[in-house]
Amino acid sequence: MANESAKVPLLAGLRDPSTPINQVVPQRRRFGHSKSLPLTEYIPPEFEDHSQLAGSKSLRDNLHPNLKRVLIFLVLYLAAGTICFYLVRDHIKGLKTNGILDSVYFCIVTMTTVGYGDLVPDSTPSKLLACVFVFSGMALICLALSSAADYLVEKQEFLLVRALHINQKVGELDILKEIETNRVRYKCFMVLSALVVLIVAGTAFLATVEKLDLIDAFYCVCSTITTLGYGDKSFSTAAGRIFAIFWILTSTICLGQLFFCIAEVNTEIRQRALVKLVLAKKVTNVDLEAADIDDDGVVGAAEFIIHRLKEMGKICQEDITAIMEQFEDLDVDQSGTLSPSDILLAQSSYTGN
Amino acid sequence: MANESAKVPLLAGLRDPSTPINQVVPQRRRFGHSKSLPLTEYIPPEFEDHSQLAGSKSLRDNLHPNLKRVLIFLVLYLAAGTICFYLVRDHIKGLKTNGILDSVYFCIVTMTTVGYGDLVPDSTPSKLLACVFVFSGMALICLALSSAADYLVEKQEFLLVRALHINQKVGELDILKEIETNRVRYKCFMVLSALVVLIVAGTAFLATVEKLDLIDAFYCVCSTITTLGYGDKSFSTAAGRIFAIFWILTSTICLGQLFFCIAEVNTEIRQRALVKLVLAKKVTNVDLEAADIDDDGVVGAAEFIIHRLKEMGKICQEDITAIMEQFEDLDVDQSGTLSPSDILLAQSSYTGN
């Protein structure tokens, strides 16, 4: 970036918002409405656009620092739950092993809403405590599930933003598209595989350590991962409850994620079908009329894209209106198009403020 | 619509795909690149655009006939569950009232994953049956929740499509925007209110009919709506179980919907924050370069909108590429813009195929 000014003497002035207005305004005329001179000629590849990309990324990161935060919440929740239930351990009846272990186990069985009933609160304070912990635990599990989903949505956006800025070739975009297409399905299979491993591990553990027969072990596994938790079969030994603490949490979240993934695949399939349907629809003069944003009687590529995106339901007039207002503010010379001179004038007024 | 051809003799030919190509091609010249003649002059208000709107709607309806389908599934599921569990009623142990009633009750307690454990399967076939019914029931509940969410997303799209086609005034759009803004929050409060009513009704019922004391009744309500279902308190009378059948299903789905709504509000808030951040970002020459789709060195309103929408993560290059391909196919005269003559030529070739 050191040789920027050598390479692009004209743009160097235009891009620097601290440049005094009287130095740069005369240059404006040169750029005027130079329709025949594409901007590419003035902008070296270095400008394209790692700093801006990083900017967009950090914007989004600020909005979603989720997964780490959820893990911190989870640890805090389990710590608080263990302490509370340990303090009221004499108000909890049922099959007990070790004080602290039972508290953590009870906490996990409650937050995941498995609720076997092998340990149940047996006094007003412990019952109300269980009510508080089941609601907050449920919210936390939902947060964990939805933040994972958010993370995926954001990741998709990142991939796309990266695709937009780093390469302009259709070939590479097609590759990225392909990766995107398979990613959700791939994730679906990953989660499903993890779940199968957890089911097998749970069944094997219950059969060997808890001495259940194979059908009962499998039945208890199904009853647990679905959070059904009839409670006729549960983890009754200390070793079983240590295993249960990790296994119940991961397997219930895993099943939740599987449902999320299936929903995601489903949404994707329908979205694509809608895009196909819209693209297959004949373009009529009515469409041209609706698409003609600048009212010049013809529809440019960008106008056509916006119209079709609207039909696909991907964008709405609300989105467009706000951006149009900004466009009108930026179009200082009222030409109906933005050129470097408009940017320069806008920057001068930013600096002036 | 009967006087269409009288009002718009020129367009009448252009819009009719069955018109032979040799009759209409000469007209092409008249429309050519008539930048000074906005299309509005040729298109009467009748064309705007109820048939097309209905078309878009039915496209989406075909993709999402969900809520009704979910209800049918629910009835079928409950019928099958009741029959199955009635047939194995001797393999289910616990506190029983009436054969059919207990089967429906067991079915509901299982599908919602409440799983009190007041009735539990006690043989291999009944245990496996419970496993099958808990998974399918869970999937059905998820479908019910996500199809409601889909329905809302679609409804939003409908509102927007309607807004796009029926009115072009910013004033009315602002009103719709306002409705949209409040809709999700409003729905949140509605669901919350319904949940409070269900909690109060459930507590009152358990206290009066099931003779639980008030704390136990509230504790049982919390344990049920969260699907925790420890099972130390549950519905043990025939009257209680009749109430439970309706109350458990509605209250668990209601709590699920509340979590959904909160997530929706949250997503909306963050989406708006992202839009604000992107709009607040200074526009640089690098942006102009990236936004300039037709490479003419200046950025029109539509190009600017597309660039900002990309930055907001609302659309991606993948979406644009497919539409661009269609644009190039439609732009028969290679002018870089679509005019009625292009549409005419495209229609002729449709007819030709």
For an interface test with A, give the residue of B226, B314, B333 to mutate (most A CBs within 10 A). Answer: B226
Residues of chain B with pLDDT > 70, as a percent, come to 69
Say how far apart CA B108 and CA B76 lie, in whole Å: 13
Cα–Cα–Cα angle for B302, B346, B165, nearest 5°? 45
> Mind listing the pLDDT tens digit for each residue in A135-165?
999 989 888 877 665 555 555 545 544 555 5
Q: B325 or B173: which carries more pLDDT confidence?
A: B325
Say how far apart CA B348 and CA B341 lie, in whole Å: 10
Who contacts B25 (Cβ-Cβ below 8 Å, separation ≥6)? Answer: B344, B345, B348
Lowest mean pLDDT among A49-63, A65-79, B68-82, B201-215: A49-63
Min distance A163 CA to chain B CA atoms (Å)? 8
| Under 8 Å between Cβ of A234 and A245 | no
Who contacts A181 (Cβ-Cβ below 8 Å, separation ≥6)? Answer: none
Helix, strand, coil percent content, chain A, rounded in steps of 5: 75, 5, 25
Nearest to A37 among B33, B218, B297 (CB): B297
The one-letter code for the residue type at B292 is D
> Mind listing the pLDDT tens digit for each residue in A96-132?
998 899 999 999 999 999 999 999 999 999 999 999 9
In this prediction, the answer to ipTM > 0.85 reads no
Contact B301 A336 (CB under 8 A): yes
**Which residues in chain B touch residue A222, judged by CB atoms under 8 angstroms apart?**
130-131, 134-135
Q: Which helix (H) or strand (E) is A338 found in, with range?
A: strand A337-338
Report the pLDDT value the prediction gives residue A262, as an integer from 0 to 100.
Answer: 85
Q: Which helix (H) or strand (E) is B218 found in, with range?
A: helix B214-225
- C-beta neighbour count of B168 within 10 angstroms: 12
Lowest mean pLDDT among A85-89, A292-296, B9-13, B125-129: B9-13
User: What is the average pLDDT across B143-166?
Assistant: 57
Q: What is the distance of C-alpha A145 from the center of its chain?
A: 11
Nearest to B286 among A43, A287, A305 (CB): A43
Residue A38 to residues A3, B291, B299, B318: CA-CA distances in angstroms?
A: 22, 12, 11, 24
Lowest mean pLDDT among A180-189, B275-284, B304-313: A180-189
Q: Which CATH number fits domain A66-274: 1.10.10.10, 1.10.287.70, 3.30.930.10, 1.10.1060.10?
A: 1.10.287.70
Residue B178 to residues A310, A314, B175, B313: CA-CA distances in angstroms?
A: 19, 19, 5, 23
| Under 8 Å between Cβ of A178 and A213 | no
Residue A183 to residues A145, A178, A179, B348: CA-CA distances in angstroms?
A: 18, 8, 6, 41
Q: B240 or A8: which carries more pLDDT confidence?
A: B240
Nearest to A321 among B40, B173, B321 (CB): B173
What are the φ and ψ backbone dihedral angles of A40, each rounded to 5 degrees? -50, -35
Say how far apart CA B113 and CA B26 lie, in whole Å: 70
Contact A275 B60 (CB under 8 A): no
Say how far apart CA B146 and CA A109 lie, in whole Å: 26
Lowest mean pLDDT among A240-244, B19-23, B199-203: B19-23
At A228, the pLDDT band (50, 70, 90 cuts) reads: very high
For an interface test with B, give the residue of A338, A350, A353 to mutate (most B CBs within 10 A). Answer: A338
DSSP one-letter code for A299: E
At B319, the pLDDT band (50, 70, 90 cuts) reads: confident
Which segments of A1-65 does DSSP mark as H helices, in order? 4-7, 9-15, 21-31, 50-63
Rounded to two decimals, what is the model's pTM? 0.72
> Mind listing the pLDDT tens digit for each residue in B223-256?
999 999 998 999 999 999 999 999 999 999 889 8
| Under 8 Å between Cβ of A244 and A235 | yes
The angle, 0 to 180 degrees and rounded to 10, between the axes of the packed helices B317-330 and B340-352 is 80
Cα–Cα–Cα angle for B178, B180, B184, nearest 5°? 120
Of the candidates A231, A246, A225, which has an alpha carbon nearest to the alpha carbon of residue A95? A231
At B108, the pLDDT band (50, 70, 90 cuts) reads: very high
Q: Which residue of A has its CA nearest to B339?
A: A298
| Under 8 Å between Cβ of B21 and B322 | no
Asked if the model's pLDDT at residue A275 lies above 50, the reply is yes
DSSP one-letter code for B43: -
> Mind listing the pLDDT tens digit for each residue in A257-273?
888 888 778 877 878 88
